[in-house]
Amino acid sequence: MVRKINRSTTHPVPKVRIVEPSGRPIQVRYHCPIEKREIRISTGSRDRNVAELLKREIEAKLLLGIEIQSASEKIRGPEMDWKDFREEYRVLHLATVRDKTAQDAESRLDIAERIIKPKSLGKMADTTALQALQVKLLSGEHSRDNRPRSDYTVRGYMKAVLAALNWAYRQDWLEREPKLPRLRISKGSPMKGRPINEAEFKHLLSTVTVVVGAEAAESWKYVLKGLWESALRIEELMNVSWDETGKIRPIWADGKHPVLEIPAEMQKNGTHETIPILPGFEKLLLETPLENRRCWVFDPQSLQMKLGRKVRHQRPNPEWVGRVISKIGKESGIVVAKEDDSKGKVEKYVSAHDLRRSCGEKLRNMGVPPLIISRVMRHSSWETTQKHYAPGNTQSDADLLHKIVNS
């Protein structure tokens, strides 16, 4: 926003002052006689000398009636252009988080922007605008086929928007911390899918050739078996390497059980971990002869071979592999979530993440202690594992209960 004081009028020259908010960058403030309100400009620094220079520059411009914001400057505050804020948030914050986290945040902010169409940061942070955004997200505005969104999905969208606005508040670009009453979540399973059983998994494997072709089929079956046996996410499985440092690696040591070494940058929680390799996953890995254990463990072949075309890319990325697995799931006809228009849910077929759920459920059915399952799944608590990955089966729990009591 551009501000210009017309010196031909009777407006006095505004007094410029320096303010040092606790724990935040120093501000330069003055009262604009045109807009009849206080203007706050963050220096972006805690250096008093920087603030003094900016103060003198603004005083000179106000005295001469020159625009406060030049073409190369940005006013940071509630009146900050929304597009400028998105760029600052992208460069200063999202660049510091995991790529997947940044992509999800950008996507959700894009949807919020299309719905609210804010001109400034303050307009988006307005409580009325946030309430309207929540209502419109629930109703399905800008969703696929204009279907209503589930309350879980909407809460995720609002969390991303509030995270961005709270970051702006911490930069002192908003006067108040944006708040919105937490969306009440209906009771029921938070899982977007469900674990599948062994018979369903065998059927899933039988449909692979139809989707990827005969030449590539075995490499894709190997990927599916890896997800089924490891409890890894698809992006993690595609980063398992036999020998490359900085990637997820299986480690065998004399006299010890094998472990999976997971670097911090490969982790959703951003911490370096080693976890036990599940016996079924170890057996799968040992199918590869020792002399062939180089580079990537899982290397699904291109679908171009099925079409008789030249292979352009040697190795697909995790996102594309996930999409192909979803096609295999749809071809199998295995439904893991039924359609529910009232909750904005569409019919969902088995996906890569459902195989991770299946692994967690298998471990629970085998009687593996909850804390060990949580460690393998890399969750901070058993409640998270149980809620999203291993809900259990009432009859299985009853069988185990009777066995313990009767013994």
The parent domain of residue 37 ranges over 1-75
Inside any domain, residue 263: yes
Inside any domain, residue 405: no
Task: Please indicate, yes or no, whether residues 220 and 334 belong to a single structural domain of this protein.
Answer: yes
Percentage of the chain beyond pLDDT 90 is: 41
Task: Please indicate, yes or no, whether residues 68 and 216 belong to a single structural domain of this protein.
Answer: no
Inside any domain, residue 45: yes
Q: Is the pLDDT of residue 112 over 90?
A: yes
Task: Please indicate, yes or no, whether residues 325 and 257 belong to a single structural domain of this protein.
Answer: yes
Q: Which among 52, 75, 98 is the end of a domain?
A: 75
What was the pLDDT predicted at 315?
83
Residue closest to 389 by CA, chosen among 403, 375, 400, 402 = 375
What was the pLDDT predicted at 391?
55
Q: Which residue has the higher pLDDT, 330 or 91?
A: 330
Inside any domain, residue 58: yes
Inside any domain, residue 178: no
What was the pLDDT predicted at 174?
92
Task: Please indicate, yes or no, whether residues 300 and 270 belong to a single structural domain of this protein.
Answer: yes
Whole-angstrom distance, CA of residue 101 vs CA of residue 270: 12
Please compute the mean of the pLDDT values over residues 384-401 and round it to a whole number: 55
Q: Is the pLDDT of residue 71 over 60?
A: no
Q: How confident is the model at residue 324 (pLDDT cuts 50, 70, 90)?
A: very high
Inside any domain, residue 17: yes
Average pLDDT, the chain: 83
Query: Which residue carries 């079924």 as its tokens?
Result: 280
Query: Which residue carries 């309100």 as its tokens?
Result: 37
What was the pLDDT predicted at 32?
82
Task: Please indicate, yes or no, whether residues 13 and 99 belong to a single structural domain of this protein.
Answer: no
State the greatest distance between any 2 C-alpha atoms of the chain, in Å, as a whole number.
Answer: 97
Task: Please indicate, yes or no, whether residues 247 and 303 belong to a single structural domain of this protein.
Answer: yes
What was the pLDDT predicted at 398?
54
What was the pLDDT predicted at 402?
54
Count of domains observed in the chain: 3
Whole-angstrom distance, CA of residue 21 vs CA of residue 23: 6
